[in-house]
């Protein structure tokens, strides 16, 4: 069985899949790094658990701020997949986060140091023209990581050695040059020089620790924290044409906060295709720049869940992926209650509903977590009798 969990982390992202023999995590952060969000992470795994794969969509603070807590809460993190970034972009990120007072900055420049010697770091090349890669490339993860490459192409299928041969993870590093251009414009309006921030240490230090650091903060906040031009999108699900007929989602629930966190669940009455097992985790990608149905066209018929990017922001949303489908989609949106950005947009929520799909609201309310149970059977099963 697989448990696919969207944790109630608030204005951030923290998702996991607990498979029979391994665990994966996609992002782990909250914009405020509250005690409640830290407690959610600490309770998500035990000290005996290993994270076999950690996918980091991008290095915005609300997606990475709780990685240190996660690392300290488990036995090990074996493999980390990151979008490949240019050195100058890392320098800029570090300096902006320094001005904001954020910690754990080693993950930007030195992820090997941050995670330790026993963790393999693997980077994903940006996707060329954000198009589907059907080259058939694949890598296999095992306990011995010595033979894994340090960089792989977008679209490479990632499999787990010894696990079912019909499940894979497919990353795409989606590049959006507009974001770094918008940041440069905001910095220029504030009278700040982006290139000097990157290349001139003395200039950067005067800005970061001087009175003008507030201008840098305002630029960051005006862009709603969207300063990374790369975002790692992940498909997790069956490999087409290899899925056994008795492979289906048994049930899906939200956690009820009136009872113990792990033991009482509220069943969702939504109808959807129980054999649409695939999920696409989107981070903060911009659907206007990234056609999810084109990039994942060979997997699209198996997709039943799509995490809505950037907390349901209208600027990141485009509705075409909801149209002309043979099934409804489950669309989780993670956001903080009373956040200062107005997330999620009511237009986004309405668009999803009007197109016959379903919104799952995931906030910092402990009762808003969402879980899918995916079951496997050796023989054909009457699905209705299982629910």
Tell me the pLDDT tens digit for each residue of 189-233: 889 888 888 888 888 888 888 888 888 878 877 776 556 667 899
Which neighbouring-strand residues pair with 159? 140
- Tell me if the pTM is above 0.75: yes
Statement: residue 135 has pLDDT above 80: no
CB contact at 8 A, 265 and 253: yes
pLDDT of residue 130: 57
pLDDT of residue 50: 95
Statement: residue 85 has pLDDT above 90: no
Mean pLDDT is lowest, of 38-42, 89-93, 251-255, 259-263, for: 259-263
Average pLDDT over residues 301-307: 94
How far, in Å, CA of 373 to CA of 375, rounded? 6
How far, in Å, CA of 13 to CA of 31, rounded? 9
- Alpha carbon 140 to chain centroid distance? 21
Mean pLDDT is lowest, of 33-42, 263-272, 329-338, for: 263-272
What residue ranges in the chain does DSSP mark as E strands?
A: 2-6, 12-18, 23-30, 50-51, 53-55, 76-77, 79-83, 120-124, 138-141, 151-152, 157-160, 167-175, 230-238, 247-255, 265-267, 278-281, 303-306, 330-334, 358-362, 370-376
Tally of CB atoms within 10 A around 338: 9
User: Mind listing the pLDDT tens digit for each residue in 281-294?
Assistant: 999 999 998 899 99
Q: What angle do CA 209, 215, 218 make, to 5 degrees?
A: 120
Say how many residues make up the chain.
387
Tally of CB atoms within 10 A around 156: 21
pLDDT of residue 265: 40
pLDDT of residue 252: 65
Average pLDDT over residues 345-356: 96
Higher-pLDDT residue of 89 and 140 is: 140
Tally of CB atoms within 10 A around 129: 6
Pairing of strands 358-362, 330-334: parallel
pLDDT of residue 296: 94
Mean pLDDT of the chain: 83
Average pLDDT over residues 135-163: 84
Statement: residue 245 has pLDDT above 80: no
How far, in Å, CA of 362 to CA of 78, rounded? 28
Average pLDDT over residues 258-274: 43
């Amino acid at each position: 069985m697989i448990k696919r969990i969207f944790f109630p982390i608030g204005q951030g992202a923290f998702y996991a899949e607990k498979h029979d023999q391994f665990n994966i995590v996609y992002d782990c952060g909250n914009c405020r790094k509250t005690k409640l969000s830290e407690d959610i992470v600490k309770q998500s795994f035990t000290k005996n658990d290993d994270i076999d794969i950690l996918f980091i969509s991008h290095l915005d603070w609300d997606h990475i701020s709780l990685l240190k807590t996660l690392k300290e809460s488990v036995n090990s993190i074996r493999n980390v997949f990151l979008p490949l970034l240019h050195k100058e972009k890392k320098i800029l990120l570090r300096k902006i986060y320094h001005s904001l007072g954020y910690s754990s900055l080693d993950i930007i420049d030195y992820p090997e140091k941050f995670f330790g010697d026993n963790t393999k770091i693997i980077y994903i090349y940006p996707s060329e023209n954000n198009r589907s890669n059907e080259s058939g490339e694949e890598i296999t993860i095992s306990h011995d990581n010595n033979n894994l490459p340090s960089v792989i192409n977008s679209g490479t299928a990632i499999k787990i050695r010894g696990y079912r041969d019909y499940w894979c993870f497919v990353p795409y590093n989606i590049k959006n040059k507009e974001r770094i251009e918008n940041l440069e414009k905001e910095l220029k309006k504030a009278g700040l020089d982006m290139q000097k921030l990157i290349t001139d240490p003395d200039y950067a230090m005067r800005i970061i620790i001087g009175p003008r650091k507030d201008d840098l903060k305002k630029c960051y906040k005006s862009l709603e924290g969207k300063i990374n031009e790369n975002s790692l999108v992940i498909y997790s699900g069956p490999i087409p044409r290899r899925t056994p007929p008795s492979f289906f989602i048994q049930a899906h629930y939200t956690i009820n906060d009136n009872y113990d966190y792990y033991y009482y669940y509220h069943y969702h009455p939504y109808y959807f295709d129980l054999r649409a097992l695939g999920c696409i985790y989107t981070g903060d990608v911009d659907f206007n720049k990234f056609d999810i149905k084109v990039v994942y066209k060979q997997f699209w018929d198996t997709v039943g869940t799509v995490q809505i990017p950037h907390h349901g922001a209208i600027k990141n949303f485009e509705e075409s992926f909801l149209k002309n489908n043979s099934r409804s989609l489950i669309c989780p949106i993670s956001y903080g209650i009373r956040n200062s950005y107005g997330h999620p947009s009511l237009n986004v929520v309405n668009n999803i509903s009007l197109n016959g799909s379903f919104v799952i609201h995931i906030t910092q309310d402990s009762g808003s977590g969402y879980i899918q149970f995916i079951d496997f059977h050796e023989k054909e099963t009457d699905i209705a009798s299982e629910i």
